[in-house]
Amino acid sequence: MKCSGSKFVLLTCAALSCASFSHSAVAEPKVNLSVNLKAQVEFSDDLSLETQDENGTDSQTLELKTKLDGSFNEDVSFLLEARGVKNYGEGGSFDSDTGEFSGEDDYLELRQYWVDYHGFDSYKPLSVRLGRQRFREDYGLWWNRDLDAVRLTHDATLFKSFVAIGQNLMEYRTGDGAYNEDDERILRVIGEASWQWKPEQFIEGRAAYQNDHSGLESAGDEVDGDDFDADDADIVWLGVRAKGTITEAVDFIEKPQYRVDVIGMAGTEDSLLTTSSGENRLVTGDEETDLRGWAVDLGLDVPVNVSPSLQPIFHVGYAYGSGDDDASDNDDHNFRQTGLDSNSSHLSGFPSSTDNYGSVLHPDLSNLHIATVGVDVPVTDALDIAGFYHYYALAEAEGSTSVGAIDADVNGEDTDLGHGLDLMFNLDVAEQFNYDPVIVDKINLKTTLGGFRAGDAYGDAQDETALRAKIDLNVRF
């Protein structure tokens, strides 16, 4: 554990003690312990679209997550969350909460530890949170990650906001390859504000700043050919979101929900220039590139009253991330997300998280058009079945290499990337079978079956199909 990270942990612990015992408010401490056990089985096949020799991968994962939260008094709350993951097979594990893929190694991880002070007598809506904490917004387009930070939050009835500054200070996971040392030198400032300007109508603004101060090697230095810091980027993101519920009644439609996101980003990036030197790379210099891009993401969820026992929710969506039409100049117009995003969310009506842009391709919103249609059908109070179709097209064909989780190159000439289909089944086991558990709080079973069929952009691999299946069993104690 690095010194800077150790100091941050000690500082957080000290803040816990001081805040809880120095304030005059007296209340009984409250402590809650929750344990979640997850078993995951995942299978994937032909993610290279027959361009490589492979027989598919399969993995089985057990995850035990423990969360301790509560309050020292009426003004100070805290949370501590950790997990252990045991991997079997060769595919690694997938975190359905954050959208992250993990390697094949087993590991222990300290996910969150923070203290929150909300005892400002002069202004009650204000609070301060210090420590490693989750930053999450509903759609995962901006952030859904843990970060070492200090956050100032304002939470009033019609207006809510926060601003935070931080950077990851140390490795929180055992095992190799989980954390690049250069990641700890990325300073982030993020913030958001949400205003309910009329009942069930919201305007939100978000901003983020990234300063990568990890530094680049100098000309003449040799670096590891497989593991070196190739670039440093300083980027600003600004965006606005309008969302809400359409309350005007229609005979068979029950309050559609809409969301509109528009985001712009700009910055600069310094990249190393290297040449081969045996197994290493020799640094010959660096170059600066101007970054500019924009994105839009639209969604509409429409509940339809087919009958008293059948009320499906239809979803339509469109997302676009700008691309670059000239890779040879020093102006890059590819949109980049913040690096804290997950692109996973709880769509209206469906009780479990879904991949916004498909479970097989699983792309970032960059140089892409994505059109989505889907439906969620609540079969019973405990069982939902959902299906989502995605059409993908490159915004710019020139300069593109590979996209998302598909391990095959595009031809750089065509934009038709392909089609994706996800089928999902979500079952509340206890409710479905009228089981009243004494120790277990909830048992949930989720199955995702995904496919991706390649388009013209993959050249000779056109019409090849990649598959991914995933089963998650969550037991919460």
Residue 106: burial class (beta carbons within 10 Å; 0-12, 13-18, 19+): middle
Strand pairing category for 368-378 and 313-321: antiparallel
pLDDT of amino acid 16: 46
CA distance 148 to 426: 33
For residue 456, give the 3-state DSSP assignment. Answer: helix
pLDDT of amino acid 328: 80
Cα separations in angstroms, 178 against 1, 183, 210: 14, 11, 21
Beta-carbon contacts of 237 under 8 Å, excluding residues fewer than 6 positions away, are 142, 206, 207, 208, 209, 263, 264, 265, 338
The answer to pTM > 0.95 is no
pLDDT of amino acid 176: 63
CA distance 251 to 249: 7
Which residues of the chain, if any, have pLDDT below 50?
A: 1-4, 6, 9-10, 13-14, 16-17, 19-25
Q: What is the DSSP string of 209-261?
A: EEEE-S--PPTT-EEETTS---EEEEEEEEEEEEEEE--S-BTTB---EEEEE
Beta-carbon contacts of 131 under 8 Å, excluding residues fewer than 6 positions away, are 12, 15, 112, 113, 114, 115, 148, 149
| DSSP assigned state of 182 | G
CA distance 68 to 113: 9
Q: At 17, which helix (H) or strand (E)? A: helix 3-22
